[in-house]
Amino acid sequence: MLALKNIVKLYRTESVETRALDKINIHVRKGEFVAIMGQSGCGKSTLLNTIGMLDQPTEGSYYFDGEDVANYSERRLSDIRKSNIGFIFQSFNLIDELTVFENIELPLIYQKVAKGERQQRVMEVLEKVGIAHRKDHFPQQLSGGQQQRVAVGRALICRPKLILADEPTGNLDSKNGEEVMEMLTKLNQEGATIVMVTHSDAHATYANRTIHLFDGNVVTEQMQEDYFA
């Protein structure tokens, strides 16, 4: 599905150059669930933003569905991103003034999907993530776990090829965190390709493969023993 080849990301000021990613080489297959781990500042979020086409590499090639997108314009990247990638964030990023239904519906409005189809797809997603009974509530009326379910629903609504999750359990207690991980696992079993940044060793075990970063470099990759069972 995607391949990063010799990806370098530099951040420069007048006096300092920071190498956030240093010749990264990563392949993610369709239907795989990959966890990215490492200490704070090691480049995890930069890598996820590069995969999500929110940040362009300084050097290297990024192949998404066989197409090198590394040097595409922001407008072209935005079109690819909207049609192919769903994002789940640690802080949920829901709009407080919109209901659960409206938060999930919003990406379809941006894509100018007809109202009837929007309503049908939103209800399907609400059922999938187990939050249909809260569809008319506002985010502040929900628990953290429920808000993250809404965020997962919003990521799914455009039927993306790839789901990117940045610390999806970081703001949740252990019970709600486990529920979110079980939901991501089920989505993966249904065919979703997922790349997740996490600090949790326990949650990384839900993935098929774990990539460890250190100072912008891939230092180890570990496959779950039962992945090929």
Pick from 143, 132, 145: which is nearest to 100 by CA? 132
pLDDT averages per 10-residue partition of the chain, 229 residues: 96 88 95 94 93 95 94 93 91 94 95 94 94 96 93 93 93 89 92 94 94 94 67
* 86 Ramachandran zone, left/alpha/beta (phi>0; psi -120 to 50): beta
The DSSP call for residue 160 is -
Rounded to whole angstroms, the Cα distance separating 23 from 127 reads 42
Digit-coded pLDDT (tens) for 77-88: 999 998 899 999
The pTM score is 0.89
